[in-house]
């Protein structure tokens, strides 16, 4: 299995991990910060903060431009980050990793650069109803230009993909299957290997939104045989504006650039230009150099923790949270088996509207997210405008879950 889960995964020493994250020393409203919003963005270990600062203080230059020493150092740091990401994801070569600002830009790049080149009227793009807006809207925009058609895999009542009608949805008209590796709204981990095999059987290309999966799970793109995989650095301990797109070399080769400009060209004439080979064809203008270097440091940190241990911790803390939330009387959205879900837990607590709940919890230092989580199709499917969501990462403790549960009582008292 490509999403590996070590049977004998080591566990994290969470207290030691926490010491690496300066923001966890913060207080909010006079209480210790209990940050349960890592699915929105993760915090950054000191090492990542230092990598960015150090880049500016010692190696700052534009990458791939200068002959001078700083230019060479910056280029090397930037390309080292690319190589590290390639290894992290099991990609065959660094050149299969295109740097982008994150998942949203990566999916737009596929939907435009590949989708608009390849898709025709009559073609179908198959998504799922649990996709984040970032894996829906770019395809809607591509549909407008190409005349292809969007279809959706529906959801079961308990938050899984309903694959019972897959044969009718996934046909030789299907040219793309866009699917999240893990839902940010439901926590669901999707059966990627199975979906990819089914898609390939009809000749469709698979675009995986790994924004939520990548931070918690070892991913091996080669073993998975995935065609494109999008990820966000800021959700996996890296800086904002870091991330990228893995793409199979032969697909990247056929892809048109989405942005034109400096450094992605080979030659520019008055009326046309020729472009570089991937990945540079897709990296127009000055890139997020310091940020990708910071992401390299984040990935190195994750590698040291060990992705098996990271996943084991997520699974354990999620199991604990699900149990405590159920005890407290919360309604959970999404699967309740920690083996097939990640650490983003959507819920309603009694009748307290998520906005009110988030506000009241914040007063106790507990940070959760309230809203539609950029997944309005999910909200509509389950008949609610919004949910409250608690999400976890390597620094989350059971004591923090306890703090969440305790704070729920305050909310109940106000709204009783």
Does position 376 interact with another protein (CB under 8 A)? The reply is yes
What token pair was written down for 207?
A: 């675009």
Interacting partner of 353 out of ligand PLP, a second copy, another protein, none (Cβ under 5 to 8 A depending on kind): another protein
d(CA 37, CA 368): 5
Q: Give the Cα separation of 255 and 249 in Å (integer).
A: 10
Cα–Cα distance between 142 and 128 in angstroms, integer?
17
Nearest approach, Cβ of 264 to ligand PLP (angstroms)? 11
Nearer to a second copy, 260 or 329 (CB): 260
75 touches, from a second copy, another protein, ligand PLP, none (C-beta below 5 to 8 Å by class): another protein
* Nearest to ligand PLP of 379, 407 (CB atom): 379
Q: Which of 300, 374, 376, 415 is catalytic?
A: 374
Q: Give the residue with the Cβ less far from ligand PLP, 346 or 365.
A: 346
Residue ranges binding ligand PLP (CB under 6 A): 39, 102-104, 132, 134-135, 180, 184, 209, 211-212, 232, 234, 262, 285-286, 374
Under DSSP, is residue 11 helix (H, G, I), strand (E, B) or coil? coil
Whether omega before 134 lies within 30 degrees of 0, making that bond cis, reads no
Question: Among another protein, a second copy, ligand PLP, none, what binds residue 212 when CB lies within 5 to 8 Å by partner kind?
Answer: ligand PLP
Residues 120, 142 contacting (CB under 8 angstroms)? no
For residue 232, the minimal CB distance to another protein (Å) is 20
Select 101 or 373, whichever has its Cβ closest to another protein: 373
Strand partners, 352: 349
Q: Residue 83 touches which of a second copy, another protein, ligand PLP, none (CB < 5 to 8 A by kind)?
A: none
User: Quick check: is 374 catalytic?
Assistant: yes
> How far apart (Å, rounded) are the C-alpha atoms in residues 309 and 9?
5
Alpha helices by DSSP H, 244-285? 249-254
Distances (CA, A) of 40 to 124, 263, 374: 30, 32, 10
Cβ 8 to a second copy, closest distance in Å? 34
Enumerate residues 331-360 that contact another protein by CB under 8 A: 353-356, 359-360
Give the nearer residue to another protein in terms of CB position, either 66 or 306. Answer: 66
**32 DSSP β-pair partners:** 27
Report the alpha-carbon distance of residue 43 to residue 394 in Å, rounded: 10
Q: How far is the CB of 413 from a second copy (least distance, A)?
A: 19
List the single partner that 64 binds among ligand PLP, another protein, a second copy, none, CB under 5 to 8 Å by kind: another protein
CA dihedral 394, 398, 404, 410 (to 10 degrees): -160
- Check residue 266 for interaction with another protein (CB under 8 A): yes
Residue 267 lies near another protein (rule: CB under 8 A): yes
Cα separation, 99 vs 24, whole angstroms: 29
Residue 399: CB atoms within 10 A of its CB come to 11
CA within 13 Å, CB half, 239: 23
Tokens of 221: 């793109």
Return d(Cα 298, Cα 293) in angstroms, integer.
9
Q: Cβ closer to a second copy: 84 or 389?
A: 389
Stretch that binds another protein, among 46-54, 80-88, 265-273, 310-318 (CB under 8 A): 265-273
The residues that touch another protein, with contacts defined as CB under 8 A, are 29, 64-67, 71-72, 75-76, 265-267, 274-277, 280, 353-356, 359-360, 363, 370-372, 376, 379, 385-386, 414-415
Question: Hey, which residues are catalytic here?
Answer: 374
């Amino acid at each position: 299995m490509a999403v590996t889960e070590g049977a004998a995964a080591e566990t994290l020493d969470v207290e030691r991990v926490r010491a690496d994250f300066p923001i966890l020393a913060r207080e909010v409203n006079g209480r210790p910060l209990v940050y349960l919003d890592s699915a929105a963005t993760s915090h950054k270990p000191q090492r990542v903060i230092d990598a960015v600062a150090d880049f500016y203080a010692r190696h700052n230059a534009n990458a791939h431009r200068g002959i001078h020493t700083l230019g060479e150092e910056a280029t090397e740091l930037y390309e080292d980050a690319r190589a590290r990401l390639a290894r992290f994801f099991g990609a065959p070569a660094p050149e299969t990793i295109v740097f982008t600002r994150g998942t949203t830009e990566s999916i737009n790049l596929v939907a435009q650069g590949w989708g608009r080149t390849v898709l025709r009227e009559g073609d179908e793009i198959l998504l799922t109803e649990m996709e984040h807006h970032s894996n829906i809207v770019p395809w809607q925009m591509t549909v407008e230009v190409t005349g292809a058609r969007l279809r959706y895999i529906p959801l079961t009542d308990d938050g899984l993909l309903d694959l019972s009608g897959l044969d009718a949805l996934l046909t030789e008209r299907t040219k793309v299957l866009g699917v999240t590796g893990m839902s940010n709204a439901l926590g669901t981990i999707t059966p990627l290997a199975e979906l990819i095999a089914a898609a390939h059987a009809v000749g469709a290309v698979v675009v995986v939104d790994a924004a939520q999966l990548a931070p918690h799970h070892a991913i091996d793109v080669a073993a998975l045989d995935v065609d494109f995989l999008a990820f966000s650095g800021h959700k996996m301990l890296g800086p904002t504006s870091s991330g990228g797109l893995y793409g199979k070399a032969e697909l990247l080769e056929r892809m048109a650039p989405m942005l034109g400009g400096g450094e992605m060209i080979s030659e520019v004439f008055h009326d046309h230009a020729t472009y570089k080979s991937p990945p540079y064809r897709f990296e127009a203008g000055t890139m997020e150099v310091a940020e990708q270097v910071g992401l390299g440091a984040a990935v190195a940190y994750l590698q040291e923790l060990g992705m098996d241990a990271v996943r084991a911790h997520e699974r354990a803390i999620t199991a604990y949270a699900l149990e405590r939330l159920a005890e407290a009387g919360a309604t959970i959205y999404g699967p309740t088996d920690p083996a097939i879900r990640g650490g983003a837990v959507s819920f309603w607590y009694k009748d307290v509207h998520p906005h009110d709940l988030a506000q009241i919890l914040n007063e106790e230092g507990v940070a959760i997210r309230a809203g539609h989580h950029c997944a309005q199709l999910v909200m509509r499917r389950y008949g609610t405008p919004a949910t409250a969501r608690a999400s976890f990462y390597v620094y989350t403790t059971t004591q923090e879950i306890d703090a969440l549960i305790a704070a729920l009582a305050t909310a109940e008292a106000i709204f009783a």
